[in-house]
Amino acid sequence: MIISVASGKGGTGKTLVATSLALSLRERDKVQLLDCDVEEPNDHIFLKPVFTRSEAVAIPVPEVNEEKCTHCGKCAEVCAYNAIAVMKQKVLVFPELCHGCGACGYLCPEKAISEEAKEIGVVESGSSDGIGFVHGKLAVGEVMAPPVIRQVKEHISREGTVIIDVSPGTSCPVVEAVKDSDFCLLVTEPTPFGLNDLVLAVETVRVLNIPCGIVLNRAGVGDGKVEEYCQKENIPVLLTIPLDTEIASFYSRGVPLVEGMPQWKVSFLGLSDKIREIVNERSSDTER
């Protein structure tokens, strides 16, 4: 089973939930944690994995042979991201805008465009006390996170439970990380900002046709509008974590919640059971 841990808003506690869930499950299941928040991965701070493999992530960017080029402009016409500009005597390529789709080279009538690899990040894999661990790092100055996320997800194990820590928001990197999950756990907080971005996140996973549930973090602040929204939309609140200075203290020191406060392990195991029950029930309904 693949469980993605996402949130519309940043700073709601996705890492806290993802690492605690992985650490709780390792005693009864084979667990793998993938940190797909490639712009600022931080799960490794809490799990302290030993990395055994590192691989570069590269995308193909166009290289124009000016001797063959007739400056017809077809490449610029088909580029959806304006990564190529054709002038009378010169073709300009903007690698920072290129998405590596290959359309320009494929459709060039003169076959004047070849591709060269541009390194945009790295994927590192290893393990942490029985938990398989993979994360990606987008290179400084790069903006193309989805290719790095895709390469991280190539390491998904076909056994046990896979937990994917997703970046905040609802943009392309989030969609890339969440898609093909069996369940999406949305972490939010009971504030107006938390509710606003939760609504966007729910809409996103519904478009992807992925069942979801809520972890309400920092309960005790804000108001009750998140619970009202969940009740109205028939979205289950699967776990509530209170606003607690002790939890915050452990987190600030890089100590996972279930290690600093072991009593929470039962709650996260219960969370896993609820998720599995929802997924199985959905599968049964689909079969009918």
The structure's pTM equals 0.93
N-terminal to C-terminal alpha carbon distance within the chain:
21
Count Cα neighbours of 57 within 13 Å in the Cβ-side half-sphere. 24
Q: Which class for 287: exposed (0-12), middle (13-18), buried (19 or more C-beta within 10 A)?
A: exposed
Question: Which of the 8 DSSP states describes residue 257?
Answer: H
Looking at the DSSP bridge assignments, the partners of residue 220 are: none
Per-residue pLDDT of the chain (288 residues; tens, 9 = 90+): 999 999 989 999 999 999 999 999 998 999 999 999 999 999 999 999 999 999 999 999 999 999 999 999 999 999 999 999 999 899 999 998 999 999 999 999 999 999 999 999 999 999 999 999 999 999 999 989 999 999 999 999 999 999 999 999 999 999 999 999 999 999 999 999 999 999 999 999 999 999 999 999 999 888 899 999 999 999 999 999 999 999 999 999 999 999 999 999 999 999 999 999 999 998 877 766
Domains by residue range for the chain, with CATH:
2-57+136-287 (3.40.50.300), 66-111 (3.30.70.20)
pLDDT of residue 202: 97
> Can you give the pLDDT at residue 288?
64
Are 26 and 217 in contact by the 8 Å Cβ rule? The answer is: no
CB-based contacts of 171-177 (< 8 A; 24+ apart in sequence)? 172/145, 172/146, 173/36, 173/38, 173/39, 173/145, 173/146, 173/149, 174/6, 174/201, 174/204, 175/204, 175/208, 176/36, 176/145, 176/146, 176/149, 176/150, 177/4, 177/6, 177/36, 177/149, 177/153
Instruction: List CB contacts of 259: < 8 A, sequence separation 6 or more.
Output: 23, 250
DSSP helix/strand/coil, 195: helix
Q: Are 114 and 105 in contact (CB under 8 A)?
A: yes
